[in-house]
Amino acid sequence: MGIFLWIIVGLIAGFIAHRVFDSRGGMIGSLVLGLVGALVGGYLANILNLNVTGGFIDQLIIATCGAVLLLFLKRKVF
Protein backbone atom coordinates (compact mmCIF):
# COMPACT_ATOMS: atom_id res chain seq x y z
CA MET A 1 0.00 0.00 0.00
CA GLY A 2 1.12 3.50 -0.68
CA ILE A 3 1.80 5.94 2.12
CA PHE A 4 -1.33 7.93 1.28
CA LEU A 5 -3.51 4.84 1.60
CA TRP A 6 -1.83 3.94 4.91
CA ILE A 7 -2.70 7.40 6.22
CA ILE A 8 -6.32 7.07 5.09
CA VAL A 9 -6.66 3.60 6.64
CA GLY A 10 -4.98 4.80 9.84
CA LEU A 11 -7.22 7.83 10.10
CA ILE A 12 -10.39 5.79 9.60
CA ALA A 13 -9.23 3.05 11.99
CA GLY A 14 -8.32 5.61 14.65
CA PHE A 15 -11.68 7.33 14.24
CA ILE A 16 -13.56 4.03 14.60
CA ALA A 17 -11.52 3.02 17.65
CA HIS A 18 -12.17 6.39 19.29
CA ARG A 19 -15.89 5.96 18.69
CA VAL A 20 -15.87 2.40 20.08
CA PHE A 21 -14.23 3.53 23.32
CA ASP A 22 -15.76 7.04 23.33
CA SER A 23 -12.29 8.51 23.78
CA ARG A 24 -11.17 12.09 23.55
CA GLY A 25 -8.53 13.18 21.11
CA GLY A 26 -7.97 15.19 18.01
CA MET A 27 -7.29 14.38 14.40
CA ILE A 28 -3.55 13.86 14.93
CA GLY A 29 -4.15 11.54 17.89
CA SER A 30 -6.59 9.49 15.82
CA LEU A 31 -4.13 9.29 12.94
CA VAL A 32 -1.27 8.17 15.16
CA LEU A 33 -3.48 5.67 16.99
CA GLY A 34 -4.72 4.25 13.71
CA LEU A 35 -1.25 3.99 12.17
CA VAL A 36 0.21 2.30 15.24
CA GLY A 37 -2.91 0.16 15.46
CA ALA A 38 -2.38 -0.90 11.84
CA LEU A 39 1.15 -2.00 12.68
CA VAL A 40 0.04 -3.85 15.81
CA GLY A 41 -2.92 -5.43 14.03
CA GLY A 42 -0.77 -6.48 11.08
CA TYR A 43 1.84 -7.97 13.39
CA LEU A 44 -0.75 -9.92 15.38
CA ALA A 45 -2.49 -11.10 12.20
CA ASN A 46 0.87 -12.32 10.92
CA ILE A 47 1.51 -14.23 14.16
CA LEU A 48 -1.94 -15.82 13.94
CA ASN A 49 -1.35 -16.72 10.26
CA LEU A 50 -4.33 -14.66 9.08
CA ASN A 51 -4.45 -13.63 5.44
CA VAL A 52 -3.94 -9.86 5.45
CA THR A 53 -3.06 -9.44 1.79
CA GLY A 54 -6.66 -8.54 0.96
CA GLY A 55 -8.02 -5.22 -0.11
CA PHE A 56 -8.87 -1.99 1.60
CA ILE A 57 -11.62 -3.43 3.81
CA ASP A 58 -9.38 -6.23 5.12
CA GLN A 59 -6.64 -3.75 5.96
CA LEU A 60 -9.16 -1.46 7.63
CA ILE A 61 -10.51 -4.27 9.81
CA ILE A 62 -7.00 -5.32 10.89
CA ALA A 63 -5.99 -1.70 11.60
CA THR A 64 -9.18 -1.03 13.55
CA CYS A 65 -8.73 -4.17 15.65
CA GLY A 66 -5.17 -3.10 16.43
CA ALA A 67 -6.26 0.45 17.33
CA VAL A 68 -9.06 -0.85 19.57
CA LEU A 69 -6.59 -3.17 21.27
CA LEU A 70 -4.23 -0.25 21.88
CA LEU A 71 -7.00 1.87 23.36
CA PHE A 72 -8.08 -1.02 25.56
CA LEU A 73 -4.53 -1.49 26.85
CA LYS A 74 -4.12 2.25 27.35
CA ARG A 75 -7.25 2.37 29.51
CA LYS A 76 -6.12 -0.61 31.57
CA VAL A 77 -2.62 0.76 32.18
CA PHE A 78 -3.32 4.47 32.63
66: CB partners within 8 A, 6+ apart: 13, 36, 37, 38, 39, 40, 41, 42, 43, 44
65: CB partners within 8 A, 6+ apart: 37, 41, 44
Q: What is the pTM of this model?
A: 0.80
- pLDDT for res 27: 67
Strands (E), the chain: none
Q: Tell me the mean pLDDT in the region 48-62.
A: 81
Q: Tell me the mean pLDDT in the region 4-27.
A: 78
- Mean pLDDT (the chain) is 80
Contact 37, 68 (CB under 8 A): yes
- pLDDT for res 15: 83
